[in-house]
Structure formats: C-alpha cells, structure tokens
Amino acid sequence: MQMNEYKPLIVAFCCNWCSYAGADLAGNNRLNYPADVKIIRVPCSCRVNPMFILRAFQRGADGVIICGCHPGDCHYTSGNYYTRRRMAMLFSMLDYLGIEKERTRVEWVSAAEGAKFAATMNDFAEKVAALGENKRLEDLRCKR
C-alpha cells in the first residue's frame, strides 16, 4: 500500500513554440495528467543544457522529459535536431551511470497535440513511477 503512495517528481522542459503551447492546449481541453509533472519553459528544446538535467537528478528528480517541435517544425528550423543528438548521448551516459533510460525521454509535441501531451505525460509518469525513486545521483547531490 505504501508503494502506491509514492509520487515521482518529473521535470518537463517544453519549448515555447510547440510543446509549451501543446501543454496549454491540454489545459484548454481539460485533459488530466499527474501533477507530478512540472513544466519549465525554454525558448527551444535546444536551449536545454545537459547540466540542467544532471542538476534535476542531483536534486531528486525521478524523471526528466524534454519536449520540442516535431522534426522539421522547430521554430528555429534546426534546434530540435541538436536536442535529439545531444540527448541521445546524454541519456546513454546517464543509463551507464544507473539512471535508467525510462527516466529520460525526448518527445515531439506540436502546439496542436494537447491530447498527445497529456497522453505522453501520463505514460511517462507511469513508467517512472514503476521504477520507483531515483537514488542514483544522491551522493553527488549538492545538498544545501
């Protein structure tokens, strides 16, 4: 029973032009997803520095998801291609460090895909919750 009480902490980086608008649309359409998901707005998915993700995990995040425009649709034409490449590398490194691949994700959500946004967050939160708490970077955690 205790296990069911566990709520994962999920940080979602959303690009301003597509995914953040997609999240707004999910809101407009009153599509539920867990409150565990907290969104940080960035201009483009390519603004997400691997540093931010490491920091989130150090501070106790259980999952980090980056959402951007669909390939070819980035407001800045190519930002999301950088994201895809950078994150592929970062995520496999994190996996090596013991942060399971299921805890990290890059997803393309357009401004029209409110339903996809909600579905993605539901699915991601469920997968992360199934893995349980993320303790891997605790020793590196910069305690205040």
Partner 1 sequence: MQRIGVFVCWCGSNIAGTVDVQAVSDALKNEPGVVFSTNYQYMCSQAGQDMIIQAVKEHNLTGIVVCSCSPRMHEATFRRTAQAAGLNPYMVEIANIREQCSWVHKDIPIGTEKAIILGKAAVAKVNLNTPLTPGESPVTKRALVIGGGIAGIQTALDIADAGFPVDIVEKKPTIGGKMAQLDKTFPTLDCAACILTPKMVDVAQNGKIRIFSYSEVTDVKGFVGNFDVTIKKNARYVKEDICTGCGACVEKCPMKKVPNEFNLGMDNRSAIYIPFAQAVPKVATIDPNACNMLKNGKCGLCARVCAAGAIDYTQKDEYIEEKYGAIVVATGFNPISMDKFDEFAYNQSKDVITSLEFERLTNAAGPTAGKLLRPSDGKHPHTIVFVQCVGSRCDACAEKGKEYCSKICCMYTAKHAMLTRDKYPDTDVYVFYIDVRTPGKNFDEFYRRAVEEYGVHYVKGMVGKVVPEGDKLKVQASDLLSNKQLHIDADLVVLAAAIEPDKSARPLATMLTASMDTNDFFTEAHPKLRPVESPTAGVFLSGACQGPKDIPETVSQAGAAASKVIGLLAKDKLTGNPCIAHSNELMCNGCSSCERVCPYGAITYEDKEFRMPDRTTLVRRIAVVNPAVCQGCGACTVACPSGAMDLHGFASGQIMAEVDAICK
Q: How far is the CB of 108 from ligand FES (least distance, A)?
A: 8
- Sign of the dihedral defined by the CA atoms of residues 125, 45, 56, 134, in that order: positive
What residues numbered 13-52 form the site for ligand FES, per CB under 6 A?
Answer: 15, 17-18, 44-46
DSSP letter string, 20-57: HHHHHHHHHTT----TTEEEEEESSGGG--HHHHHHHH
**The two three-digit tokens of residue 46, written as one number:** 């390519």
Q: What binding mask, one character per residue, do residues 20-39 give for partner 1 by CB under 8 A, x or -?
A: xx-xx-xxx-xxxx-x--xx
Which sign does the torsion angle of CA 102, 103, 109, 114 carry?
Answer: positive
Contact window for partner 1 (CB under 8 A) among 13-21, 93-101, 125-133: 13-21
Q: Which does 42 bind (CB under 5 to 8 A by kind): ligand FES, partner 1, none?
A: partner 1
Residue 33 binding target from ligand FES, partner 1, none, CB below 5 to 8 Å by type: partner 1
Query: Which 73-102 positions form the footprint of partner 1 (CB under 8 A)?
Result: 73-79, 82, 86
48, 81, 128 from 67: Cα distances, Å: 10, 12, 16
How many CA atoms does the CB half-sphere of 6 hold within 13 Å?
16
Stretch touching partner 1 by CB under 8 A, among 71-79, 99-107, 124-132: 71-79
The answer to whether 108 contacts partner 1 (rule: CB under 8 A) is no
Q: Does 106 bind ligand FES (CB under 6 A)?
A: no
